[in-house]
């Protein structure tokens, strides 16, 4: 694939900026990996390192402990000879995401912005940059999601399905994105092909993991089991942790299943309601997952926000963009401060940080709701914006 000069500059810029930040601030990785916003027990680099250590020493990696990453990921990273290679790999993957975002933007029908803008917005997104520098494993899921998106737009369904299966394999909930992905495929035959490919890929991946993990299935419980049952209670910016710290024992299983249902609940409705805008449905589903999943990070949010400029043509319909922006800014700025007040200084308590997670959830939710409204309004206007018409819902 030949890239125009501007795009190759962006991709290279992405790669170099990540490397540069990693090398100029060598302690930043550790700091970010300790921060509650960019690292969770499920995605932290410390946990990957522990997994690599145990894997290479031949210790039982998934027998309890702190490793919750997929065996294949740990195996692949354990092949890399040094930390330097891992740093380069992370930068390269982020650059590859930027490249794929540029490619996806070429498939947009209504777009009045030059393509490179999308790439630049991704590269300059501080949340994405910091998430990459923290070496959170969420980047592997993200790259697979963009791969799936790009290939389904290019018509390569088998590859797209494989990518979404792999994303689901790495962090479970992205497997739900198969539903909006199917919405992007026109014929039923190809839809079935996509489902079958996904299932086969998942089985192969799980079987390889089984082999890598010394013929043991215990990794299933340590990875997916721990996510589904939310058994590693650790503060994060999601809605789950404080709820389950404070919940009464008897109701915990019930509410865990309810919270898991909430993750599922809007996937199919979004796909059906926006079947004419399948890319929009896909990204809306992605937003819904990062809002409701048990272990979200700001890296997820950064990725989701970087995909939003695709719909800049409907931004005019947004009812409260200022509110959404302020909510997100408020959460991003205050969460490290309030966390510090609670954990390090002891001058604030857990409610401070809890309040911020609520603000964050409201911010993401207001973006999703506002975008939904904007798209509905856009559908009402049939693609020709008429901002003067007063429209309501009944």
Partner 1 sequence: MFKRNATCLIFTTLLLFSRICYGQESNYSIYKNDNTEQLEEFRNSNTTSEVESSSSTVITASEDGSFPEGIQEPPLDPSITIQEGLSYPFREKLYVKPLPNNDLLTSFQFKMNSEEFAPSISSLNYGQYNHFTVFPKAIESVLHRTDTRQLHLRFTRGFWDAETWGRLPHDGFKSGGNGVELWAIIEAESKDNAYSKWKTLANSLSGLFCASINFIDSSKTTYPVTSFQPDNDQGLPVFANSKNQLYLIRAALANEPICTENLTPFLKLLPTKGKSGISTFLDGHKVFDSSWHSLSVDVITNCDVNQDKCKYETDAVVDMVTHVPYSLARNKNPIPKPLPAEQLRCDTNKPYDAFQCFPLPESTETEFDLSQIFGKTIKGSSMMSDIPSHICAIITSKWDVSIKVNGELFGTDDNCFELDGMDEYDLYLASSDTSDVTTLNEEVPLHVSRSLTGYGQDHGGLRTVFQNPTPMPITAIYFESLPWYMRLYLSSLKLESIDSSNLQLEDVIDSVYYNSAIDHKRPSHLEYTITIPANTTLAISCQFDKALLHFADYPPDANHGFEIESAVITVIKPFKYQIRTETLLLSLSTPDFSMPYNVIIITSTVIGLIYGTLYNLLVKKVVRVEQADKLIEQQAGLKKKLVAVVLKLKSKVVDRIKQKKVINFYI
Q: Which residues bind partner 1 (CB under 8 A)?
A: 34, 36, 41, 46, 49-50, 52-54, 59, 63-66, 231-235, 239, 241-249, 262, 265-266, 269-270, 273, 291, 342-344, 346, 349-351, 354, 358, 361-362, 365, 368-369, 372-373, 376-377, 379-380, 389-394
Minimum distance from residue 335 beta carbon to partner 1 (Å): 14
CA 392 – CA 220 distance, rounded (Å): 47
Burial string for 139-164 (b: 16+ CB within 10 Å, else e) reads bbbbbbbbbbbbbbbeeebbbbbbbb
Residue 13 or 225 with smaller CB distance to partner 1: 225
Q: Least separation, in Å, of the C-beta of 158 and partner 1?
A: 31
Name the residue nearer to partner 1 (CB basis): 127 or 239: 239
Please state the closest distance from residue 132 (CB atom) to partner 1, in A: 21
Token digits for 133?
């520098």
C-alpha neighbours within 13 Å on the C-beta side of residue 239: 21
Q: CB-wise, 119 or 235, nearer to partner 1? A: 235
Cβ 93 vs Cβ 15: under 8 Å: no
Distance CA 377, CA 387 (A): 9
Min dist. Cβ of residue 355 to partner 1 (A): 9
Copy the structure tokens of residue 7: 């795009």
Residue with Cβ nearer partner 1 (31 or 203): 31
Which residues in 22-50 are b (16+ Cβ under 10 Å) and which e?
beeeeeebeebbebbbbbbbbbbbebbbb
**Which of 195, 379 has the CB closer to partner 1?**
379
> How many residues can be counted in the chain?
394
To the nearest whole angstrom, how small is the minimum distance from the Cβ of residue 195 to partner 1? 24
Q: Which two tokens stand for residue 379?
A: 């559908």
Q: Rounded to an integer, what distance in angstroms lies between the CA atom of residue 191 and that of residue 175?
A: 15
Taking the complex as a whole, the smallest distance from the CB of residue 366 to partner 1 amounts, in Å, to 9
295 token code pair: 């272990």
**CB nearer to partner 1: pick between 24 and 382:** 382
How near is the Cβ of 21 to partner 1 at its closest, in Å?
A: 22
Closest contact distance (angstroms) between CB of 340 and partner 1 is: 8
Minimum CB distance to partner 1 smaller for 187 or for 388? 388
Helix (H, G, I), strand (E, B) or coil at 114: coil
Of the candidates 169, 147, 167, 170, which has an alpha carbon nearest to the alpha carbon of residue 159? 147
Report DSSP letters for 26-56, one per residue: TTHHHHHHHSTTT--TTT-HHHHHHHHHHHH
Nearer to partner 1, 112 or 346 (CB): 346
- Compare residues 8 and 325 and give the one whose CB is closer to partner 1: 325
Residue 234 CB neighbours (<10 A): 14
Q: Indicate the SS3 state at residue 96.
A: helix
């Amino acid at each position: 694939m030949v890239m125009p000069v501007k795009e190759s500059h962006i991709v290279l810029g992405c790669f170099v900026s990540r490397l540069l930040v990693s090398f100029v601030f060598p302690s930043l990785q550790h700091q970010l990996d300790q921060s509650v916003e960019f690292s969770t027990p499920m995605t932290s680099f410390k946990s990957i390192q522990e997994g690599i250590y145990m894997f290479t020493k031949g210790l039982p990696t998934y027998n309890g402990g702190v490793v919750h990453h997929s065996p294949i990921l740990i195996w692949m990273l354990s092949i890399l000879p040094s930390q330097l290679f891992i740093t380069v790999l992370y930068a390269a993957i982020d650059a590859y995401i930027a490249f794929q975002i540029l490619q996806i933007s070429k498939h947009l029908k209504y777009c009045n912005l030059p393509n490179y803008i999308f790439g630049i917005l991704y590269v300059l997104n501080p949340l994405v940059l910091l998430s990459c520098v923290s070496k959170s494993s969420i980047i592997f899921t993200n790259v697979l999601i963009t791969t799936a998106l790009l290939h389904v737009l290019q018509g390569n369904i088998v590859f797209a399905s494989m990518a979404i299966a792999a994303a689901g394999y790495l962090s479970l909930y992205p497997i739900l994105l198969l539903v909006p992905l199917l919405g992007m495929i026109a014929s039923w035959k190809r839809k079935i092909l996509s489902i079958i490919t996904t299932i086969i890929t998942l089985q192969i991946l799980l079987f390889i993991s089984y082999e890598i993990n010394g013929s043991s299935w215990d990794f299933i419980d340590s990875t997916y089991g721990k996510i589904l049952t939310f058994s590693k209670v650790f503060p994060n910016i999601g809605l789950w942790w404080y709820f389950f710290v404070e919940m009464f024992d008897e109701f915990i299983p019930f509410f865990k299943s309810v919270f898991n249902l909430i993750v599922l609940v809007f996937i199919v409705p979004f796909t059906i309601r926006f079947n004419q805008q399948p890319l929009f449905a896909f990204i809306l589903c992605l937003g819904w997952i990062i809002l409701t999943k048990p272990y979200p990070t700001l890296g997820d949010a950064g990725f989701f926000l970087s995909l939003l400029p695709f719909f800049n043509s409907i931004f005019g319909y947004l009812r409260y963009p200022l509110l959404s922006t302020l909510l997100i800014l408020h959460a991003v700025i205050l969460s490290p401060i309030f966390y510090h007040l609670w954990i390090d200084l002891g001058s604030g308590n857990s409610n401070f940080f809890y309040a911020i997670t609520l603000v964050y959830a409201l911010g993401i939710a207001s973006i999703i709701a506002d975008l939904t409204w904007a798209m509905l309004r856009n559908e009402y206007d049939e693609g020709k914006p008429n901002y003067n018409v007063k429209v309501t819902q009944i």
